[in-house]
Structure 1
Amino acid sequence: MQSLRDAQIGAFTFFASPLPHDVCGSNGLPLTPNSIKILGRFQLLKTITHPRLCQYVDISRGKHERLVVVAEHYESSLKDFRKPSKPFSPEKVMQIAYQILEGLEFLNKHRMVHRALCPHNVLLDSQAAVKLAKFGLYHMTDHGADVDFPIGHPTYLAPEVIAQGSFHHSDPLFKEPRLPSGPKADVWSLGVLLFELCVGRQLLHNIDISKRLKFIITLGCMDDIVTVLAEEHGCLEAIKVRNCSTFSWPTPAQLLVDPVFEDISSLYVPYNKPVGLFSSLRCAHLELPENINELCKDDGEDYLAERAIDEVYYLWCLAGGDLEKELINKEIIQSKPPVCTLPNFLLEDGESFGQGRDRSFLLDDTTVTLSLCQLRNRLMDVAGEAYYPLLEDEQSNLPQSNSSNDLSTAVSLPLIIRERDTEYQLTRIVLFDRLLKAYPYKKNQVWKEARVDIPPLLRGLAWAALLGVEGDIKAKYDSIDKETPIPTDRQIEVDIPRCHQYDELLSSPQGHVKFRRVLKAWVVSHPDLVYWQGLDSLCAPFLYLNFNNEALAYACMSAFIPKYLYNFFLKDNSHVIQEYLTVFSQMIAFHDPELSNHLNEIGFIPDLYAIPWFLTMFTHVFPLHKIFHLWDTLLLGNSSFPFCIGVAILQQLRDRLLANGFNECILLFSDLPEIDIERCVRESINLFCWTPKSATYRQYAQPSKPMGENINGSFGKTSTFYTTDYQDLPKTDLLREPMKLSELKAEVSPRISAEDLIDLLELSGPVPFKTPMKRAKAGKPKILAVDIRSMEDFSRGHVTGSVNIPYSSAFGPDGELVQCPAATTLASFKGRVIVILSHALKSAAMFAAHLVKVNYPRVCILDGGINKLKATGLLTVPSPQI
């Protein structure tokens, strides 16, 4: 994206053609509004970057099919320099011609034409270099088919363009769709424009529109555009049906290599598009001055102008910028009383009543410059150092300013406030931009900053970095066959129109095409897996954030699924799903036994509601804006973190679930109530930090590679947040052993490994394996080991710090705990992690089930029993009393 520098940000508006409300498509669904179609096609224009083209930034959709386009803008244009008294010199005309041809050739390489080339669309920057504006209007409107006005100025349109006229693909008068304009149409417009520059006046100057049309018609051209314009200006008698001759002239690419430009071409360096972030070779300009103290001494330096234009516009919106208000202030948008907008009625005798056609629904070519004064005033107190952040140890040399201190306090504010804070987002965007340009070398720094928050503007790239996407992903994506029909095509076609279609971008035809390509690429490139319903929802966040980069959306999706949904998309995934749901049930019992008891009593098991949660990682139940905040944290955790999200959702609905029966719970989850996502994320992290890492062990989870320094990451100030799965640990005798699904289902509480018990109790001794993920001292949960063996067995050797509560004497006939000193100790630890130790695992599971029944939370069982600890030398024998 180009930097702002001497450019401005401009906006212009137009209306898309309205569609009838009572017409449906072939699939039985309402027709997609033309404004949505235009919005989808516009996204490609944001990727068209060239020194001779004005950068497109954004498009917004308003009421009544109104669209507002935001783009790079300059006040000066060729229209201002077209004066009879001072025409351009031939050398200057040739330079302008060459620069325009450069822009046109670049458009042609992207299968686009300008079609609206005229003096006021050829802008000039401060160096008098050409910048073509509004080159995307023809593309985004589907060659003019989605609007009610012609694309281009009649004076500059090529004869064959005028002869062809405007058309709609669905127009029943045309049996075959007419071909869109080609590159040669722009060459004609350029020729007329250059002629005017040479003579110093407009072609057909001081001639009214009717005479201009007569002049054009004498060339042998007639079309619908001429008919409409002639009717309005009273020259219908000039319209005659003629055949348009075919003219032959070169394309922009052919003209650029013409000998006439030989001397001029040497003055310009060929444009090379910057290499993308995820590619094999790239370079980032991150040099800093030698004397860092002199970096930002110049108070008059406009650091904001050095930022990319999309960043500046994003900050402008955060600072209170309102596109519609700007257009209203310039009287581009004019509100009218409803009585003035009544339609035109035509009576049988031909007499008409009502208003004529509202000219505001035609194209107003005015571009309004957006004022950045409010944004600059907002950022006035931001120190210049914020635009050049120093990383790692270099930060210690950076002088602290009052503004930086104020921004450090903003971290404690709610996320929704931080995302709307202009100053805070500026610092986060600049920092992440630099870190991502240095990816993967600054991968650990990206992880560290992502634990604070991720700026929405760079979320797509930040997610890709968190997922470890690297290499030339475009080449890999392009090599996948996405065209050959496969059996899954039909199901994909059915699912896409139902997937997050409230979103304008994903509901556009371009969104559907991209959906289809990315999903099909994943299915084709994973022959061992199959397409399950829900995969489209899983794809939606990645496609939305990387709409113009299908390869990156595919790469992120391909990295996400193995990490969090390993083998979920097998043809027979029942054993994977059942194990996952069983572990989730144990997590509910571990964290909220009262809720677990109630749900089990009424038969409301996770199989009835949680499969869509985990199969789509909650994308099927939450809108995209909530998924973004949820996944910002999910991507920092390991594959067991979704369990904690599920428990956090249930706890938000806890009161309603406890008060209702089976039928009411079914109805509750059929239309899930509003969930506070920020609270859900906060509670999920807390639940995760209270869960022993081996408690969520699944034998069908993917053993992933350790994340190196990312193993121990502080999420916030007091909790530790792990990114490495339990399966990543080196295999020792102290880890959990796989167990049959039937055995797993028979146990209410989860098992933990002997290694986890040693770690949590912080025991020392000849331990054969020391965990690399030791929890931080601050905020470490307390743990109580309960040995339920007989007193004789306990006295022969036990874990230091454990209490002995023999199973036979612990519970009375009614299932309540028998009052004894050990039971009192157990009650004092209620709410902490309680690990049940025994020789027999069946007895330990029954003891744990009894504790859950009486609402003891965080109860778990030592996997393998006390025998697992005998080889460690950690069992102690009390000294005999003398």
Structure 2
Amino acid sequence: MHPLRDAQLGAFTFFASALPHDVCGSNGLPLTPNSIKILGRFQILKTVTHPRLCQYVDISRGKHERLVVVAEHYERSLQDFLKEGNPVSLEKVLQIAYEALEGLEFMNKHGMVHRALAPHNILMDCKGKVKLAKFGLYHVTDHGADVDFPIGYPSYLAPEVIAQGSFHPTDPSHRVTPLPSGPKTDVWSLGLLLFELCVGRRLLQSIDISERLKFILTLGCMDDIITVLAEEHGCLERVKELPENVLALLRKCLTFHPSKRPTPAELLQDPVFEGVSCLYTSFQKPVGLFSSSLRCAQLELPDDISELCKDDGDDYLSERSIDEVYYLWCLAGGDLEKELTNKGIIQSKPPVCTLPNFLLEDGESFGQGRDRSFLLDDTTVTLSLCQLKNRLKDVAGEVYYPLLEDEQSSLPHSNSSNELSAAVTLPLIIRERDTEYQLLRIVLFDRLLQAYPYKKNQVWREARVDIPPLLRGLAWAALLGVEGDIQAKYDTIDKDTPIPTDRQIEVDIPRCHQYDELLSSPQGHVKFRRVLKAWVVSHPDLVYWQGLDSLCAPFLYLNFNNEALAYACMSAFIPKYLYNFFLKDNSHVIQEYLTVFSQMIAFHDPELSNHLNEIGFIPDLYAIPWFLTMFTHVFPLHKIFHLWDTLLLGNSSFPFCIGVAILQQLRFRLLANGFNECILLFSDLPEIDIERCVRESINLFCWTPKSATYRQHAQPPRAPGDNNGFGKTSSYFSSDYQDLPKTDLSREPLKLSELKAEVSPRISAEDLIDLCELTCSGHFKTPTKRTKSSKPKILALDIRSSEDFNRGHISGSVNIPYSTAFGPDGELVPCAATSTLQSFRGRVIVVISHAMKTAAMFTAHLVKANYPRVCILDGGINKMKPTGLLTVPSPQI
């Protein structure tokens, strides 16, 4: 969106038609409220950006089908010229005509018409340029079918619109949509407006509305409509003084028959504009973030470079985009309904005053007449930015222009720098509502994303702090490595030809996150269908599984007006976190995933693992929807956003940590209940604290060795330069274990039966060596700060016999022979070695043996004894022999 500059934010409101509550659609579901339909259609208006159109910003839905629209606004309009009562100069009339036609032509290219042209809807900016307002009302209301008022003003409606009449179907489920108006209807309205400017007075305003409509329809019998209008309003002399080319333009606009009337595009080529068109350059839409074109191709520097350094004051906020300003206005306490109420646009009444009429037998009536507050009042209220500017008055100007190369703190030195620094430590939900902090984050991320992919690593680094909600969609795309001309790729996919999956998609969409107004709208359903179908068609080796719609929902919500980006993000996300989950036969992939998850539960919370295993409450019963949809089937969207902000920073093993963190939030209830109670608990999952879940997931992730979550069916290593068409799907900083180069010390794949037989995970010899080195150097990164004098974080536990241990072992390892470690009841036999083991409870314990079955049984005993973070060295001591790292104790003399 373009900067706010001298524009203002304006809001107007209207009501959608109410639907009966006892009527269902053909599918048996309740009818979608008209306000929801309008809200869905409105979204595309945010992308219709042109210098001659007022930018739409937002729409909100209130009670009783009320809708409030926020858009760019200017106080001055053509109505001010007409109020002066003087004819406007011909040069100004031609300028207004040309600029208005430019806006109308651009709308027509997007399949829209204005249909509501009137003097107060043609605004003038500070430079005297035309800005068309309320051009989207006809589009969002489905040509007026979803509201109880006509779109347009009788004085300016074209004859064919008046002749068509209005439509008010009695059965909303089988309504007849009015015949849509074409671009030529706006040409008639513009012709009347130009005529008014030329003569300096309003037309048809003093005539009764019914007579006014009859007069317009009778114009079809006249040879010269311009002369008839001039005679009717007593301005024939003024009309005769107009140049012939201007009269010819007015006659073309006011051609009665639509077939003979030109379109806005045709009128722009009229010779009358030869001296005007040379002053304008054709509008070129800025290149988007994901495109094959150079974003800097249109960059122009002024002839005098000092112009860039000219101080235009300290109103830095006006240089920000209009959607940013509105977002910050809302954070600063802005309330749309309150603003409209203060201006008298919204008038609330006590319920007793809204009772309908009650008629007695004698004809006497009691009660209220029609509530006029539900009629259309298209007054636009200017939203005051004083409160926002006052809130940001102490923010230094450097915040608006951050230096990206500065490796120090991104927080500038200002009067509020201490407050901004302190805000980082606050809970995320508070930070997202802090106006100053969000300004800082939005400006910084905006600059970083403009430099994407060059600043990809810095985007990742800043995302570790948090992601501003306003830019979450683009930030996620950057974290997923989406690059290239995504629109061209999306356009090549056939999304229209029927396929067998269509029926299942049609069934799933009406059940997917339908509490959200945007996704439940008809436009949301259409976009859902197209993105899902594009993914299915472009991945012929995979199939549609239930849950894919839930997986698509966050991407579609954040990129509602960019289906290509939603598809690209989804196509990058699935291979990274759900590789081969959507195979036709995915049982082996799911079973391996659940087995590794079960081992992660035992690794981090053995007490909970033991209890769940004893009652038979295995992950197969509750965790498949978690991982198949990456928790989107479990949590509402607002929680998914915060969860995925962190998920996208981790590798494919991070979902295991999220799953364990969810169980740990419920652990006391799980430990206290049996199988039936646990089933009921998960059938309606209790409220989960997502911020705590994210925090604990990171803690669990830091304690988990990389190779512990190795899966044979995970995404294989990608070749250098392989970007799957959308860029790398994993961050350099969060690479998977599978992406690391394979050596003789790497983990070996296991059969699923062998994997299921082991309670604890295996780790590779590489991980063991790295952990030992990190322990020695004191750089093992854990969530809690520890001093150098604290205990080591890892214990290498060698369970071979004493003789084998003395022939060679890892330096610092503890020897507890398996044959002497446990008593007849499975408890550890007290000795010096077991005391050492007890002192390491809570650290990572790596069990080392020469036989994997022996190591598996030993770890099973430790887990049974509630020892956390127990794992097995894959390959045993034999993997360590070629490294030369084994030591032999010196002989005692």
1:878 counterpart (851, 864, 889): 889
Could you tell me which amino acid in structure 2 is paired with residue 640 of structure 1?
Answer: S
* Unpaired runs of at least 5, structure 1: 222-243, 709-719, 766-772
Superposed displacement of residue 288, structure 1:
12
Contact (CA 8 Å) 2:775, 2:794: kept in 1 or not? no
Aligned residues: 842
SS of equivalent residue, structure 1 residue 46: helix
Per the alignment, residue 580 of structure 2 pairs with: 567
SS of equivalent residue, structure 1 residue 154: coil
Per the alignment, residue 273 of structure 2 pairs with: 261
Equivalents in 1 of 2:514, 2:172: separation in Å? 29
1:466 counterpart (479, 503, 513): 479
Per the alignment, residue 546 of structure 1 pairs with: 559
Contact (CA 8 Å) 2:862, 2:870: kept in 1 or not? yes
Per the alignment, residue 91 of structure 2 pairs with: 91
Equivalents in 2 of 1:9, 1:521: separation in Å? 38
**CA gap 1:84/1:123 in 2 versus in 1, 3 angstroms:** closer
Aligned-residue RMSD, C-alpha: 2.7
Per the alignment, residue 179 of structure 1 pairs with: 179
**CA gap 1:19/1:172 in 2 versus in 1, 3 angstroms:** closer
SS of equivalent residue, structure 2 residue 100: helix
Q: What does 1:679-690 correspond to in 2, within 5 Å?
A: 679-690=692-703
Per the alignment, residue 805 of structure 2 pairs with: 794
Per the alignment, residue 136 of structure 2 pairs with: 136
Equivalents in 1 of 2:599, 2:591: separation in Å? 12
Per the alignment, residue 113 of structure 1 pairs with: 113
Superposed displacement of residue 401, structure 1:
2.3
Contact (CA 8 Å) 2:17, 2:147: kept in 1 or not? yes
Contact (CA 8 Å) 1:783, 1:833: kept in 2 or not? yes
Equivalents in 2 of 1:312, 1:194: separation in Å? 34
Per the alignment, residue 716 of structure 1 pairs with: none
Per the alignment, residue 840 of structure 2 pairs with: 829
Name which of structure 1's ranges 736-745 and 255-264 shifts more when overlaid on structure 2. Answer: 255-264
- 1:733 to 2:771 alignment: no
- 1:385 to 2:398 alignment: yes
**CA gap 1:395/1:587 in 2 versus in 1, 3 angstroms:** closer
Q: What does 1:118-197 correspond to in 2, within 5 Å?
A: 118-168=118-168, 177-197=177-197
SS of equivalent residue, structure 2 residue 139: helix
- 1:338 to 2:351 alignment: yes
Q: What does 1:364-443 correspond to in 2, within 5 Å?
A: 364-393=377-406, 400-443=413-456
**CA gap 1:13/1:593 in 2 versus in 1, 3 angstroms:** same
Superposed displacement of residue 258, structure 1:
1.1
Per the alignment, residue 715 of structure 1 pairs with: none
Could you tell me which amino acid in structure 1 is paired with residue 664 of structure 2?
Answer: Q
**CA gap 1:396/1:493 in 2 versus in 1, 3 angstroms:** closer
2:612 counterpart (593, 599, 603): 599
Could you tell me which amino acid in structure 1 is paired with residue 840 of structure 2?
Answer: F
Equivalents in 2 of 1:300, 1:246: separation in Å? 51
Per the alignment, residue 24 of structure 1 pairs with: 24
- 1:505 to 2:518 alignment: yes
Q: What does 1:798-877 correspond to in 2, within 5 Å?
A: 798-877=809-888
Contact (CA 8 Å) 1:345, 1:354: kept in 2 or not? yes
Per the alignment, residue 769 of structure 1 pairs with: none
- 1:494 to 2:500 alignment: no
**CA gap 1:300/1:246 in 2 versus in 1, 3 angstroms:** closer
Per the alignment, residue 236 of structure 1 pairs with: none
Superposed displacement of residue 179, structure 1:
1.9
SS of equivalent residue, structure 2 residue 462: helix
- 1:627 to 2:640 alignment: yes
2:626 counterpart (595, 598, 613): 613
**CA gap 1:610/1:85 in 2 versus in 1, 3 angstroms:** closer
Per the alignment, residue 768 of structure 2 pairs with: 757
Per the alignment, residue 320 of structure 2 pairs with: 307
SS of equivalent residue, structure 1 residue 368: strand
* Unpaired runs of at least 5, structure 2: 222-255, 722-730, 787-791
Query: Structure 1 segments of 4 or more deviating over 4 A?
Result: 168-177, 244-247, 284-289, 292-299, 345-353, 394-399, 704-708, 773-781
Equivalents in 1 of 2:387, 2:641: separation in Å? 29
Per the alignment, residue 70 of structure 1 pairs with: 70
Contact (CA 8 Å) 2:396, 2:412: kept in 1 or not? no
SS of equivalent residue, structure 1 residue 860: strand
Contact (CA 8 Å) 1:748, 1:848: kept in 2 or not? yes
Contact (CA 8 Å) 1:276, 1:282: kept in 2 or not? no
- Deviation string 1:236-279 (CA, Å, 9 cap, x unpaired) is xxxxxxxx966620000000011111111100111001111011
Superposed displacement of residue 402, structure 1:
3.1
TM-score, normalised by the number of residues in structure 1: 0.92
Superposed displacement of residue 347, structure 1:
6.8
SS of equivalent residue, structure 1 residue 149: coil
Q: What does 1:150-299 correspond to in 2, within 5 Å?
A: 150-168=150-168, 177-219=177-219, 248-283=260-295
Equivalents in 1 of 2:362, 2:29: separation in Å? 39
**CA gap 1:416/1:398 in 2 versus in 1, 3 angstroms:** closer
SS of equivalent residue, structure 1 residue 584: helix
**CA gap 1:407/1:815 in 2 versus in 1, 3 angstroms:** same
Superposed displacement of residue 175, structure 1:
9.0
Equivalents in 2 of 1:689, 1:15: separation in Å? 53
Equivalents in 2 of 1:574, 1:442: separation in Å? 40
Q: What does 1:46-85 correspond to in 2, within 5 Å?
A: 46-83=46-83, 85=85
Equivalents in 2 of 1:175, 1:406: separation in Å? 57
Name which of structure 1's ranges 549-558 and 76-85 shifts more when overlaid on structure 2. Answer: 76-85
Superposed displacement of residue 356, structure 1:
2.1
- Deviation string 1:39-91 (CA, Å, 9 cap, x unpaired) is 00000000000000000000000000000000000000000111464211111
- Deviation string 1:801-837 (CA, Å, 9 cap, x unpaired) is 1000000110001111100000000000000000000
Superposed displacement of residue 400, structure 1:
2.2
Equivalents in 1 of 2:748, 2:170: separation in Å? 65
**CA gap 1:707/1:28 in 2 versus in 1, 3 angstroms:** farther
- Deviation string 1:651-673 (CA, Å, 9 cap, x unpaired) is 00000000000000000000000
Equivalents in 1 of 2:206, 2:466: separation in Å? 61
Superposed displacement of residue 169, structure 1:
6.6
1:558 counterpart (554, 571, 574): 571
SS of equivalent residue, structure 1 residue 785: strand
Equivalents in 1 of 2:720, 2:630: separation in Å? 22
Equivalents in 2 of 1:175, 1:672: separation in Å? 41
Contact (CA 8 Å) 1:563, 1:704: kept in 2 or not? no
Per the alignment, residue 715 of structure 2 pairs with: 702
Per the alignment, residue 239 of structure 2 pairs with: none
- 1:326 to 2:345 alignment: no
Contact (CA 8 Å) 1:42, 1:59: kept in 2 or not? yes
Equivalents in 2 of 1:328, 1:182: separation in Å? 36
Name which of structure 1's ranges 162-171 and 265-274 shifts more when overlaid on structure 2. Answer: 162-171
Contact (CA 8 Å) 1:390, 1:398: kept in 2 or not? no
Equivalents in 2 of 1:319, 1:832: separation in Å? 47
TM-score, normalised by the number of residues in structure 2: 0.91
SS of equivalent residue, structure 2 residue 544: coil
Superposed displacement of residue 171, structure 1:
5.6
Equivalents in 2 of 1:287, 1:51: separation in Å? 18
- Deviation string 1:630-671 (CA, Å, 9 cap, x unpaired) is 000000000000000000000000000000000000000000
- Deviation string 1:770-824 (CA, Å, 9 cap, x unpaired) is xxx9869996970000000000000000000100000011000111110000000
Equivalents in 2 of 1:415, 1:303: separation in Å? 26
Could you tell me which amino acid in structure 2 is paired with residue 262 of structure 1?
Answer: E
Contact (CA 8 Å) 1:16, 1:34: kept in 2 or not? yes
Superposed displacement of residue 354, structure 1:
3.1
Equivalents in 1 of 2:575, 2:272: separation in Å? 58
Could you tell me which amino acid in structure 1 is paired with residue 47 of structure 2?
Answer: T
